[in-house]
Amino acid sequence: MLIKGQIPTKEPNVSIGLVLPEDQQKSVTIKSSDSKSEHQILVQNDTLLLDGNPLPRIHFNRSTSDSYFTIHPIRAGRGFHWEKHISIQVLGSINISIKDGALFVINQIPVEQYLMCVATSEMSGDCPPALLESQTIAARSWLLAADEQKHAHLELDACNDDCCQRYQGMGNLTETAKKASLSTRGKVIMHHEAICDTRYSKSCGGVSESNESVWEESAKPYLRAIHDSPNSTLPDLQSNENFEYWYSQDSDCFCSPRIVPENELHQYLGHVDKSGSYFRWDVSFKQEELIKLISNKTNNPYDSIQSIKPLKRGLSGRIIQLEIKGQLKGIESIIILDSEYEIRRVLHPNFMFSSAFFIKYSIDRHSNIEEISFYGAGWGHGAGLCQIGALGMALNHYSTEEILNHYFKSTELEKIYD
C-alpha cells in the first residue's frame, strides 16, 4: 500500500479492489487474452472454487507482456443512479480470496498502467489531450497523496469505482489517451513539498466548493471555491435568494452549455455516464413520493412532510445543512441533515445530482407539501477539478497547466519519477 506523506521516487505498484467483500458477489469469470479457456471462480459454502477445485486463494499472472485479463461481472457506480455490471480488461496480476463469505478480487498493477485506464473511465478517450492530461495528473496526485485511503482496512489503495476513482480497464483506451498518460508520466501537483489531494467531480455547476464544506476535514489551501469562469470574482451564493437569482442567469462558465453544448457532451463523458443536464437540472416529487422517499431513507415512518428548508450553503451554493419538518406518528418531527452527502442521499431515490439547489413547493389544505421541485446546479460534490469545466477549457485551447492552476490554486506541477 501507498503511505500518506511519502513521495515515491520510482513508479509504485498499487492494489485496486475490483470485487469488494461488501458486494457479496459469489461468482466471477476470468479469461486471459492468450488462452482460450475461461475460468469460473465461485464461493460455495465458504469455500473458494476454481473451475470446481477448492483453493485457499487464487493468483493469476500474465504470461506475456501484452496479455491481459477479462473479468466479468464487475460492479460500476455502486449505489449511484448509473449503477451497472460491466466486463473489464486489465493488465497486472489478479489475487482472489474469500472475505466475509464472498469474493474479494484485487488487481495489482504498476500505477501508470492503472492511470492510463482511469482517465478514459472517468471521461471519454475522445476528449482533447489537455483534458486527458489534466485528468490523469489529478488522478495520479489523488492516489499518490494517499490522503483518503477509503479501503485501508482491506489493504487497498483504491477500489474500481466512483467511491475512489473510476477504473474500468483498457476497453475505452484510445491513442490520444495512451499518449496523454505517457506524456504526463510521474507528474503530480504539489503544494509545500507534499502531493496534493486533488479531488474532482463531474460538474461544479459554475462555482466549485471548498473541501471543508463537503467533508469533515480541515481546509486545504489548494481546494478552495473558485468561479469556474474566465472572470475569477466569486459570486455570493450563500443566501437562498442570491443562489436562485444566479441560477437563472445566463452563464459563460467553463462547464456551462454555452462552452460545452449539452448535445455534444455525451461524446466526451465516460461510457457509464448517463446523458443529462449536468449544469442545470430539476426534479419534482408529490407528497406521497416525498413521504415514501424520506421515510425509507431516514428509517422513520412519516405521515406527512410539511417543509424542507436550506439552513446553510457553502461558497458554491451547495447546501450543507438542511431542515426537514413533518408529522411522525401524529407528532411534529424536525430533522437536520448535516452534510451535502446526506442531503443528496435522503432527497432522491438514488442520489441527488448535487446539493446546489433551490426549492419551490406548493402547500395543500392540510399544510403539507403538495408538490416540491428542486432546481439544481452541477453533478457531484463540486470540490477540486470540475471535469466538464476542464473539458470546456481544453476545447478552448487552455493548456494542461492552465487547467490545473485554475482549479488547484497555489500548486506546482512536478515530475517525481521517470
Which triple of cell numbers denotes residue 99? Answer: 472475505
Residue 261 neighbours by CB under 8 Å, 6+ apart: none
What SS3 class is residue 324?
A: strand
Please report whether residue 389 would count as binding Zn ion according to CB under 5 A: yes
Could you tell me which stretch among 131-139, 153-161, 329-337, 349-357 binds Zn ion (CB under 5 A)? 153-161
Q: How far apart, in Å, do the first and last CA atoms of the chain sit?
A: 20
| Residue 386 touching Zn ion (CB under 5 A) | yes
d(CA 139, CA 153): 21
Please check whether residue 222 is in contact with residue 409, taking contact to mean a CB–CB distance below 8 angstroms: yes
Candidates 108, 111, 94; CA nearest to 12 is: 111
- In sequence order, the 6+-apart residues with CB closer than 8 A to the CB of 83 are 75, 76, 77
| 255 counts as binding Zn ion under rule CB under 5 A | yes
Residues 6+ apart with CB under 8 A from 260: 254, 268, 388, 391, 392, 395
Q: Which region, judged by CB under 5 A, interacts with Zn ion, from 103-111, 202-210, 238-246, 365-373? A: 202-210
Of 204 and 369, nearer to Zn ion (C-beta) is 204
Contact status: 228 vs Zn ion (CB under 5 A): yes
Q: With contacts defined by CB under 5 A, name the span among 107-115, 197-205, 291-299, 327-335 that binds Zn ion.
A: 197-205
Site size for Zn ion (CB under 5 A):
9
Residue 165 C-beta: closest distance to Zn ion, Å: 8
Residue pair 142/197 in contact (Cβ under 8 Å)? The answer is yes
Residues 56-75 that bind Zn ion (CB under 5 A): none
| Identity of the residue, 285 or 407, whose beta carbon is nearer to Zn ion in the bound complex | 407
Stretch that binds Zn ion, among 8-16, 44-52, 148-156, 305-313 (CB under 5 A): 148-156
Which lies closer to Zn ion via its Cβ, residue 164 or residue 319?
164
| Cα Rg, the chain, nearest whole Å | 23
234 lines the binding site for Zn ion (CB under 5 A) = no
Q: At what angle do helices 175-183 and 129-145 cross, to 10 degrees?
A: 50
Our finding on whether 383 is near Zn ion (CB under 5 A) is no
Which stretch in 190-198, 220-228, 309-317, 395-403 sits in contact with Zn ion by CB under 5 A? 220-228
Whichever of 10 and 153 has its CB closer to Zn ion, that residue is 153
Q: Give the CA distances from residue 413 to residues 140, 165, 384, in Å, rounded to whole numbers and listed in that order.
A: 12, 21, 16
For the bound state, the minimum distance from the C-beta of residue 154 to Zn ion, rounded and expressed in Å, comes to: 10
Q: Based on CB atoms, which residue is closest to Zn ion, 59 or 150?
A: 150
What is the x/- site pattern for Zn ion, positions 164-193, by CB under 5 A?
x-----------------------------
Closest separation in Å from C-beta 413 to Zn ion: 21
SS3 282: strand
Minimal distance in Å, beta carbon 93 to Zn ion?
Answer: 20
Single residue of 49, 55, 98, 163 touching Zn ion by CB under 5 A: 163
Which residue pairs, CB below 8 angstroms and at least 24 apart, start in 33-39?
33/66, 33/67, 33/68, 33/69, 33/70, 33/89, 34/63, 34/64, 34/67, 35/63
Q: Does 159 bind Zn ion (CB under 5 A)?
A: yes
Minimum separation from the CB atom of position 159 to Zn ion (A): 3
Instruction: Examine residue 146 and tell whether it contacts Zn ion (CB under 5 A).
Output: no
Pairing of strands 69-76, 84-90: antiparallel
| DSSP code of residue 253 | -
Q: How far is the CB of 163 from Zn ion (least distance, A)?
A: 3
Which parts of 314-405 are beta strand (E)?
319-328, 331-337, 357-363, 369-377, 385-386
Smallest distance from Zn ion to CB 378, Å: 7
CA distance 35 to 363: 65
Among 204, 319, 377, 391, which residue interacts with Zn ion (rule: CB under 5 A)? 204
Give the Cα separation of 91 and 98 in Å (integer).
22
Minimum CB distance to Zn ion smaller for 91 or for 158: 158
Q: How far apart are CB 382 and Zn ion at their closest, in Å?
A: 8
Q: Which is nearer to Zn ion, 204 or 343 (CB)?
A: 204
- Residues at the contact surface with Zn ion, assessed by CB under 5 A: 150, 159, 163-164, 204, 228, 255, 386, 389
